[in-house]
């Protein structure tokens, strides 16, 4: 990987080779698909692929990044003030709400990757059985678990559930004023 990118130009002059050669060898790493245990430090927070890069097999990378953004926005919105303690508390709450869900999707993504493109005989057998003998309704039932989690921003009324599937309750505080609850249905469904 390093050989492939070392001759690429840097936006501020020179090539990537200069950065690579200036970096201590022990700090150079290849990060392909990884779930980090640390998503924030002080006043800096991560979201999306930066903290949980998933294989594309389950189609959950962008979905999880958007869920991160909604939950992080809710946590920041709920801060009582802009002190360092409040910021760290908001980031801690964001991590506690999102980590276990990202971890589950990360595992699902890895499993789906093995099923759809694995090369061992067991992976090929599972793929054959899954695509030829497991009914579509049963596969969709497994996907429904993923769709139960729908975080929504705290400052807008909740979007009406128009489907038949189960929806998990919203986590964290909500702050909707009386005036906001009188918004027309179309405006509320934008969230």
Q: Which residues of the chain have pLDDT under 50?
A: 178-191
What pLDDT does residue 127 have? 86
Q: Are residues 149 and 69 in the same domain?
A: yes
Q: Tell whether 9 and 76 lie within a shared domain.
A: no
Structure confidence at residue 23 (pLDDT): 84
Residue 1's pLDDT is what? 65
Task: Mark whether 78 and 4 lie in a shared domain.
Answer: no
Residues 11 and 44 in one domain: no
Backbone angles phi, psi at 44, to 5 degrees: -115, 135
Q: What is the CATH number of the domain that holds 55?
A: 3.50.50
Q: Are residues 89 and 169 in the same domain?
A: yes
Domain membership of residue 22 as a residue range:
1-30
Q: Does 83 lie in the same domain as 133?
A: yes
Task: Tell me the C-alpha distance between 68 and 48, whole Å.
Answer: 7
Please check whether residues 20 and 98 belong to one and the same domain.
Answer: no
Cα separation, 40 vs 84, whole angstroms: 13
CB distance 98 to 68 below 8 Å:
yes
43 and 117 share a domain? yes
Question: Helices marked H in the chain — which ranges?
Answer: 2-5, 16-22, 61-77, 84-117, 121-132, 136-147, 178-181, 185-188
pLDDT in tens, 107-163: 888 888 888 877 788 888 988 998 899 898 888 887 787 888 999 998 889 888 888
Q: How far apart are CA 86 and CA 43, in angstroms?
A: 10
Tell me: do 109 and 182 sit in the same domain. yes
Look at residue 184 in the predicted model and tell me its pLDDT. 46
* Whether residue 138 sits in one domain with residue 49: yes
Residues 132 and 74 in one domain: yes
d(CA 171, CA 44): 22
Of 101, 104, 113, the closest CA to residue 32 belongs to 113
Residue 45, strand partner residues: 40
Which pLDDT score, from 0 to 100, does residue 70 have?
A: 96
Say yes or no: 46 and 68 in one domain: yes
pLDDT recorded at residue 12: 65
DSSP 116-166: HH--SHHHHHHHHHHHHTS-HHHHHHHHHHHHT-----TTSPPPP--SSS-
């Amino acid at each position: 990987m390093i050989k492939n990118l070392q001759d690429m130009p840097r936006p501020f002059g020179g090539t990537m080779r200069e950065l690579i050669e200036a970096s201590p060898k022990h700090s150079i790493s290849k990060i392909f698909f990884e779930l980090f245990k640390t998503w924030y430090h002080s006043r800096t927070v991560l979201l999306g692929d930066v903290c949980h890069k998933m294989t594309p097999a389950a189609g959950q990378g962008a979905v999880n990044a958007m869920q991160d953004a909604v939950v992080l926005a809710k946590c920041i919105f709920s801060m009582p003030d802009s002190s360092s303690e409040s910021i760290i508390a908001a980031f801690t709450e964001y991590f506690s709400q999102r980590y276990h869900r990202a971890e589950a999707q990360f595992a699902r993504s890895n499993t789906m990757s093995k099923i759809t493109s694995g090369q061992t005989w067991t992976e090929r057998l599972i793929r054959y059985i899954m695509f030829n003998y497991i009914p579509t309704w049963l596969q969709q039932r497994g996907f429904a678990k993923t769709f139960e989690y729908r975080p929504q921003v705290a400052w807008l009324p909740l979007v009406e559930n128009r489907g038949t599937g189960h929806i998990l309750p919203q986590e964290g505080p909500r702050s909707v004023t009386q005036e906001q609850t009188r918004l027309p249905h179309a405006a509320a469904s934008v969230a």
